[in-house]
Amino acid sequence: MIDVGTTGELAARLDAACTSRTDTPSLADSHTFDIADAYAIQAALLARREARGERVTGVKLGFTSKAKMAQMGVSDVIVGRLTDAMRLADGADVDLGRFIHPKVEPEVAYRLSRDVDADDTALDIETCVDAVAPALEIIDSRYRDFRFTYEDVVADNTSAAAYAVGAWRPVQDVTNRAVRLLAGGREAVGSTSAILGAPVRALHALREMCRRHRIPLRAGQVVLAGAATAAVPLGAGVTTCDVAGLGTVSVRGV
Ligand code: OOG
């Protein structure tokens, strides 16, 4: 375990990398810390954002695909926080100069209709969502060349950088829906089944991780359930995510 001073120091280092758009080497190159420490660094990083006036708008899941878990050698999903400073309107311009080396992922978003009490084990999280939508997540690891350990990426708020959500639809079964990402000239095609077999499973995984790491889930927050394809570099021009039956959402890199 690392002490509170080191936790704050590592959070400050990641925060500086983010605000100065300058990558940093893996924290694991110089420090030994475990996953509980990593979530503590993430919380300290969030506290720095909140001190600047940012407000939490939701949470995101990562490592929800088998391929990504296998690549990282882990079997747990990872959770990061979203803030209003990361939120983009559907169709909005996004300044690429905000990022270090941004990538984009097509996702499904859920909206929480009520607070989720971490200790109420009888509560079914599926009854705590009231809408679902197509979403785009921009990830931008603060680590050089996206080279990080499992603990590193959790400390770095799971690479969260920005997100856009399309029109909300009533909650429905979104298992095995075709997903298409068009990013500049590139196309990535996948299925919502890549998200833990079914996006609804991401909600259950989220609940467990939030209970374990004391991450609050509040009414009105957005949940990004995880990527349906591999991430694609975000460049200039329009990037669109299309989820069959849910619609589209786009942003324009400028
Ligand atoms: C970590 C975040 C990955 C996902 O959907 O797996 C992620 C990264 O690859 O930078 O959000």
Q: Whose CA is nearest to atom 10 of ligand 1?
A: 159
**Rounded to two decimals, what is the model's pTM?**
0.96
ipTM: 0.96
Q: What is the pLDDT of residue 180?
A: 97
Residue 78: name the closest of 132, 13, 139 by CA: 139
Domains in the chain (CATH in brackets) are 4-253 (3.90.850.10)
C-alpha of residue 232 to centroid of ligand 1, in Å: 11
pLDDT, tens only, 52-96: 999 999 999 999 998 888 888 888 999 999 999 999 999 999 999
C-alpha of residue 121 to centroid of ligand 1, in Å: 28
Per-residue exposure over 171-180, b if at least 16 CB sit within 10 Å of its own CB, e if not: beebeebebb
pLDDT, tens only, 13-25: 999 999 999 999 9
Q: What is the pLDDT of residue 171?
A: 96
DSSP label of 220: T
Collapsed DSSP state (helix, strand, coil) of residue 38: helix
- With beta carbons less than 8 A apart as the criterion, state whether 144 and 25 touch: yes
Handedness of CA 250, 158, 115, 198 (dihedral sign): positive
As given in the structure block, the two tokens for residue 166 are 């399309």
Residue of 72, 158, 224 to mutate, ligand 1, most atoms within 8 A of C-beta: 158
C-alpha of residue 104 to centroid of ligand 1, in Å: 10
Q: Whose CA is nearest to atom 8 of ligand 1?
A: 159
Q: Decide: 153 in ligand 1 pocket, CB within 6 A.
A: yes
Q: What is the largest CA-CA distance in the chain?
A: 49
Q: What is the pLDDT of residue 115?
A: 96
C-alpha of residue 154 to centroid of ligand 1, in Å: 10
What residues of the chain score a pLDDT lower than 70? none
C-alpha of residue 122 to centroid of ligand 1, in Å: 30
